[in-house]
Amino acid sequence: MAILPDIAARATEITTWRRTLHAMPEILYDLPDTAAFVADRLRDFGCDEVATGIGQTGVVGLVRGAAPGRTIALRADMDALPIEERTNAAHASRRPGAMHACGHDGHMAMLLGAARQLCATRRFRGNVALVFQPAEEGGAGALAMIRDGLMDRFGIEAVYGMHNLPGLPVGHFAMRPGPIMAATDEFHIALAGRASHAAIPQQGVDPILAGAALVQALQQVSARNVDPLDSLVLSVTQFHSGFARNIIPGEAEISGTVRSLTEASQDLAERRIGEIAQGIAAAHGAIAELTYKRNYPVTVNTAAEAAFCADVATEIGGSHAVDAAAPPLMAAEDFSFMLRERPGAFVFIGNGPSAGLHNPAYDFDDGAIPFGSSFWVRLTERALRL
């Protein structure tokens, strides 16, 4: 195990930054205090360039090494969630209705710790872009930064991201080549029937009956249409209809989410949901209209970069603490947009036996900070070896 001594010596200070950020959560792109805190630290450390306002409120600190060379990017997300915190921690959110329930405060702190070390030592050839991104939680902030010229402006050739994972021990890392997190899509089905009094159902077309059949039939997409060796999760999460006990309503609405690990599975799911909705509706005399929205794409690690991250993680945590072939998660991550632009890898770092992500009782484990900051420093020094 090789936590860097300078990082270990600064762990208390980095933890203070993390807890300061935790207490002042901001949501999506509305990050004036968070972005200012990050930019001020990067300037204090001596970054050669600190750019703000990329992708609305993103921040990038550029550190030049001891000799010219290529540029890699390290990314941390900044936004919090619209959740009321229930940790009772001394550093708990001071902003009602917002909290860092996904550990982005820890991600920022770990990258800031690495930034300070990299600015002080510069034991690498080329440049490292320290990317602090807004709006990961549903706002596609990564895509906004890309559209604002992130990759070309800084000449980025490879990208790396890291996220904490509850249940994985502190000091452990997990990654894999290929798909590591799922694409996430949304669907909405509007069912049009014909309203009638409940005492004379033969005069109407019941969208609730059609909807009930549709909810069950949709499960055949993952159970019978997708290759069993592929992964696809289809969940109906909303069913709205009716306004009175004695009236068969004229409309119903069904909504849900689809998670998949390949574009082929996405295409299949969208097609089959539409076909099944039309068929079930027609069988009941109703009409179905599908709205299907593709959100974050599959997060796909390139093989060489995933293997490289596993090697760096082994240096930091030891071989016993690295799972280089971890199973993918069916949650989504907008770092996927960056990995569509450049080769790279997304890595999980252990958060121990904490509450789950997006849980009001969640808190980032500060014990992970020295491991994460050390990982970023050694990744940079080895990727951009002098």
Which of 276, 294, 312 is the endpoint of a domain? 294
Compute the distance between CA of residue 60 and CA of residue 133 in angstroms, rounded to an integer.
Answer: 8
Tokens of 275: 């076909």
**Total number of domains in the chain:** 2
User: What is the domain extent for residue 267?
Assistant: 183-294
pTM for this structure?
Answer: 0.94
Single out the residue in 233, 261, 294 at which a domain terminates: 294
Whether 53 and 174 map to the same domain: the answer is: yes
CATH code of the domain in which 218 resides: 3.30.70.360
Q: Are residues 133 and 251 in the same domain?
A: no
Integer Cα distance of 24 and 34 in angstroms: 7
Are the C-beta atoms of 254 and 236 separated by less than 8 Å?
A: yes
The answer to whether residues 281 and 325 belong to one domain is: no
User: Do residue 122 and residue 96 come from a single domain?
Assistant: yes
Calpha distance 138→140 (Å, rounded): 6
State the Cα–Cα distance between residues 233 and 186, nearest whole angstrom.
12
For CA atoms 219, 223, 226, 231, give the dihedral sign: positive
Which pLDDT score, from 0 to 100, does residue 386 have? 85
Which of 240, 270, 294 is the last residue in one of the domains?
A: 294
Do 156 and 150 touch, CB atoms closer than 8 A? yes
Shared domain for 328 and 352, answered yes or no, is yes
Residues 322 and 231 in one domain: no
Same domain, 113 and 255: no
For residue 8, the SS3 value is helix
pLDDT digits (tens, 9 = 90+) for 266-275: 999 999 999 9
Phi and psi torsions of 327, nearest 5°: -65, 150
pLDDT at 84: 98
pLDDT digits (tens, 9 = 90+) for 17-51: 999 999 999 999 999 999 999 999 999 999 999 99
Q: How far apart are CA 212 and CA 216, in angstroms?
A: 7
The span from the CA of 292 to the CA of 290, in Å, is 6
- Measure the CA–CA gap between 9 and 368, rounded to whole angstroms: 14
CB neighbour class for 330 (10 Å; exposed up to 12, middle 13-18, buried from 19): middle
> Both 190 and 287 in a single domain?
yes
10 and 149 inside one domain: yes
- C-alpha 69/C-alpha 240 separation (Å) is 57
379: domain CATH number is 3.40.630.10
Q: What does 52-69 look like in DSSP terms, one character per residue?
A: EEETTTEEEEEEE-SEEE
Give the per-residue pLDDT at 2: 86
Compute, in degrees rounded to 10, the torsion defined by CA atoms 196, 200, 202, 207.
40
Same domain, 248 and 102: no
Based on the fold, state whether residues 10 and 136 are members of the same structural domain: yes
Look at residue 1 in the predicted model and tell me its pLDDT: 58
Which stretches of the chain score pLDDT less than 70? 1
User: 164 Cβ partners below 8 Å, 6+ apart?
Assistant: 103, 106, 107, 348, 349, 350, 351, 364, 365, 368
AA letter at 325: A
Both 125 and 233 in a single domain?
Answer: no
The conformation of residue 357, written as its DSSP 8-state character, comes to: T
Provide the 3-class DSSP secondary structure of residue 205.
Answer: strand
For residues 101 and 366, give the distance between their C-alpha atoms in angstroms, rounded to a whole number.
14
SS3 371: helix
